[in-house]
Amino acid sequence: MIQLLENLTIHPDELEGGAARNDLLSHVLAQIRLTGDRVYSRTLAKKSRLELEADTAYVCVVTKGVLRMEQKGRASVAVDTGDLVLLPRGEGDLRFTAPAAAASVILCRFRFDPDSLRGMIFTLPSCIQIRKAESAGWLEGIVHFLLVEAGDVQPGAALMISRLIDLVVIRALRSWVHQGNTSGWLGGLSDVRIANVLKAVHERPMQRWSIESLAGIAGMSRSSFCERFTALVGRSPLRYHNEWRLALARDLLAKRSARVGEIGLSIGYESEAAFSRAYKSQFGHSPREEYKLRTGKER
């Protein structure tokens, strides 16, 4: 049998010094791992476009001038000098140009590791912008060290770059949470009551949660809790719990040698058939098809 999911997660309380105790952001990010592999600069001529690799995640910091960020169906947004843009899933249908004058940017290219919880990655916004005023005191210093390491040929430089990009991404997400303009699990972090519920769901995915038990953790009435949770997170509490369980199952299918039925049982489904139905409803294909897609093998 496979291990209980509670034994497969890294809890913040277990990190050195316990500094991240009760911190949902640390709890989730401990399971979303990334590798940064390149830091470089680009200068864009007037009216030229910033070219980025498709399906590759980036951090973009404007060091001179202004970029215009455009997306179909939405008003364009200015990215000023000192602003940071995080693209967790790549450029997508976004378009970055230098509209009025030349602009310079620093780009940090990274990828999320295959064993990360993809369900949590894909609930991140397609673009997160941190204004200069909101990054004062941390971004400039990190960018300086990134550029130093990017030009360093000494042993260990590649690891330093990866770790620094990791730090930039985490710090950007934390700043985004503090802005309060978030949704999904990030949105719940803006309210300590909802954050406590999310932490409980993340740490005990096998538990048969009810609205009453979750509202009790939040210290709210049933109706007020449901309304607040849905407004911040963008889905109902029980739907979120089910999506979290299925996201864990999706990763277990690639990591473990267990049978599909065992994985379903490990996340609280009573039968393989019920697990397969829920999985297909969420991801569009069955758990067995998922395993074949990710490994090229039959299970």
Interval 229-269: pLDDT, tens: 988 887 899 998 988 888 788 778 776 567 888 888 888 88
Q: Tell me the residue length of the chain.
A: 299
Q: How many contiguous H segments (helices) and E segments (strands) does the chain have?
A: 13, 8
Structure tokens at 279: 């999985």
Q: Alpha-carbon distance 126 to 160, whole Å?
A: 26
User: Does residue 185 surpass a pLDDT of 70?
Assistant: no
pLDDT of residue 27: 67
User: Bridge-partner residues for 95, per DSSP?
Assistant: 70
pLDDT, one tens digit per residue, over 186-228 is 767 778 888 889 888 888 888 889 999 999 999 999 999 999 9
pLDDT, one tens digit per residue, over 95-134 is 999 999 999 999 999 988 765 555 566 667 788 999 998 8
Q: Tell which residue, 21, 178, 45, 150, has the closest CA to residue 99.
A: 45
Q: Tell which residue, 173, 238, 46, has the closest CA to residue 229.
A: 238
Per the CB < 8 A criterion, the answer to whether 27 and 202 are in contact is yes
pLDDT of residue 61: 94
Domains located in the chain, CATH noted: 1-15+181-299 (1.10.10.60), 32-179 (2.60.120.280)
E-state strands within the chain: 34-44, 57-64, 67-71, 74-79, 84-87, 94-97, 103-112, 128-130
